[in-house]
Structure 1
Amino acid sequence: MGHRFAELLFSDPVKAVQTSENSRELYQRWEQGSDHHDRLGVREAAFLCTSDSLYLASVSPDGWPYIQHRGGPKGFIKVLDERHIGFADYRGNRQYITTGNLRTEKRVALFVMDYPNRRRLKLLGYATELDADSPQLEALRDEDYPARVERGFVIEVAAFDWNCSQHITPRYDQARIDLIMANQQESS
């Protein structure tokens, strides 16, 4: 088996563009590497467990792509095992576009960003919705986070890929800014 991410996304038209842009040879070697990128390892688990947001893409029954931000406290993404992650879905704007889309198409794509360190993990998978009274949802809750949990999602990971850091602008949360400012004041 080759690189699972490439198997799923490098269609013939993608490969044709890679050929015309002179990157096909590079990705052909990548596809044949020993790491299949279909099971989460220690690096991926550590990254996911310290994240406080993700972008989740789904597709409508009419084929329209849709991307939505999901967030929570650091650690709201739970690594359940090497093939599954999950998270509690907190009440938001109540449009329910992603939730509705997942009722007809389970395939999703996720981007998990670490802006300060310019890192990005892309995941492909199949989403399962857990309703609010599902016993499985308890493992995804964070009792210290006051937001209302409406449901949960478990993602069966089909493939993942770490993306390059080029063009990721570092962004910092308030806690990080406060720490930087405190360090500046101490050194002055």
Structure 2
Amino acid sequence: MRHEGEAAVQRRSGVRRADWGSARARPEIPAVAGDFLRAQRMIVIGAADASGRVWASALTGPAGFARPAGERTVVVGALPGRHDPLAALFRDGAGAGGGHEIGMLAIEPATRRRMRVNGRARRDGDRLTVRTDQVYANCPKYIQTREITGAAAGPPGEAGGASAAETLTPRQQAWIGRADTFFAATRVAGLGADVSHRGGGPGFVRVLGDRRLVWPEYAGNLMYMTLGNLELDERCGLLFLDWESGDALHLTGRARVEEDPGGVPGAERLVTFDVDEAVQVGGAVPFRWTFGEYSRHNPPVIPGTDG
């Protein structure tokens, strides 16, 4: 299916291939993708809640908790925790029938491998069943290497509690300002949801106050699935993980793409994000990660550059 948002971004970028982006992705799960999925212990998901706000969240489990069950079905043996912004979306009875539009990202920081799965999800007991519409791999650019070196005791998100506000606290602003990785969820009704990875050197996300962020869009695979969705619907969700504590910072708001990168090194454009709500969940991810090395593709970050 042609995605008019992606097509518009591609035209402005000089991409002339009609089969690029969503049109290139296929719904079937290749065997190699199925093997990769079975090896993962964390899946990032993106979806819109009942009010239309878009959120990104993380689901975790032992290797094999996410697996293919047929050429167009993925079963995920986990649900969003009770403090998660998407918890209500998959309560008993929710998502029946065709299910909710969902984007999924399986990412393995240790090897810089990732794959995306977009489709429709419904709850089936204590798991999600996803009917796939798009399955495809991404390049390893801008992924920092990390290894799982430990795990917390008890269920994810139960020990740390949660807080919600319309603005970012000074501590949350500092967290974002030193981040080298985050995840972005977007959705266009009828065209589906998507969740993607964004990475760079610490400081590549600029905090411009308690409700505004700016980040550079670096050169990628020319599919423009995130930017294509934002072309048609500016609602967006971001997820920042604290890799040492397992805490999660979920942001929902609106993103505006600016074609002029303003001299930011390596940037093709900038994205300005305005926060509508911030939800912090303690211990949302049970794993503890040890940092390895930064991607050699990360452009330099100039302190004070806000575009």
> What is the TM-score with the length of structure 2 in the denominator?
0.42
Equivalence map 1:30-179=2 (5 Å): 37-133=165-261, 137-138=262-263, 141=264, 143=265, 148-174=266-292
The 3-state SS of whatever aligns with 2:167 is: coil
- 1:28-65, CA deviations, whole angstroms, 9 ceiling, x for partnerless residues? xx9xxxx8611112011110001001100001352411
Tell me how far 1:117 sits from its aligned partner: 2.4
In structure 1, give the amino acid aligned to 2:88: V
Residue aligned with 1:95, SS: coil
CA shift, 1:119, in A, is: 1.8
Which segments of 5 or more consecutive residues in structure 2 lack a partner in the other structure?
A: 1-48, 54-83, 93-160, 295-307
Secondary structure of the corresponding residue to residue 103 of structure 1: helix
Q: CA RMSD in A?
A: 3.3
* Alpha-carbon contact 1:56-1:69 (below 8 Å) kept: yes
Question: What is the CA–CA distance in structure 2 between the aligned matches of 1:39 and 1:81, rounded to whole Å?
Answer: 9
8 Å CA contact 1:60–1:66 kept in 2: the answer is no
Do structure 1's residue 14 and structure 2's residue 88 form an aligned pair? yes
Where does residue 23 of structure 1 map in the other structure? none
Q: Give the direction of change, closer, same or farther, for the CA distance of 1:166–1:57 in structure 2 (3 Å limit).
A: closer
Moved over 6 A (4+): 7-11
- The percentage of aligned residue pairs carrying the same residue is 22
Could you tell me whether the CA contact under 8 Å between 1:76 and 1:88 is conserved in 2? yes
Q: Find the aligned partners of 1:113 and 1:50 in 2 and give their Cα distance.
A: 12
State the shift of 1:96 in Å: 0.2
Return the structure number with greater helix share. 1
Does the CA-based 8 Å contact 2:247-2:284 persist in structure 1? no
Report what 1:27 is aligned to. Answer: none
User: Is the contact made by 2:248 and 2:284 (CA closer than 8 Å) also made in structure 1?
Assistant: no
Q: Distance in 2 between matches of 1:132 and 1:124?
A: 24
Give the whole-Å Cα distance in 2 for the aligned partners of 1:175 and 1:63.
Answer: 36
Sort the Cα spacing of 1:78 and 1:17 in 2 relative to 1 into closer, same or farther, 3 A: same
Can you list the C-alpha shifts for 1:104-134, whole angstroms capped at 9, x where unaligned? 100001101121222210000100001135x
**How many Å separate the matches in 1 of 2:88 and 2:164?**
19
Q: Measure the CA separation in 2 of the matches of 1:172 and 1:44.
A: 21
CA distance in 2, matches of 1:61, 1:16: 18
Unaligned runs of 5+ in 1: 19-29, 177-188
Whole-angstrom CA distance in 1 between matches of 2:172 and 2:289:
21
Indicate if the aligned counterparts of 2:207 and 2:214 stay in contact, CA closer than 8 A: yes
How far residue 168 of structure 1 moved from its aligned partner, in angstroms, is 3.0
2:248–2:285 contact (8 Å) kept in structure 1 = no
1:79 deviates by 0.6
How many correspondences in the alignment?
147
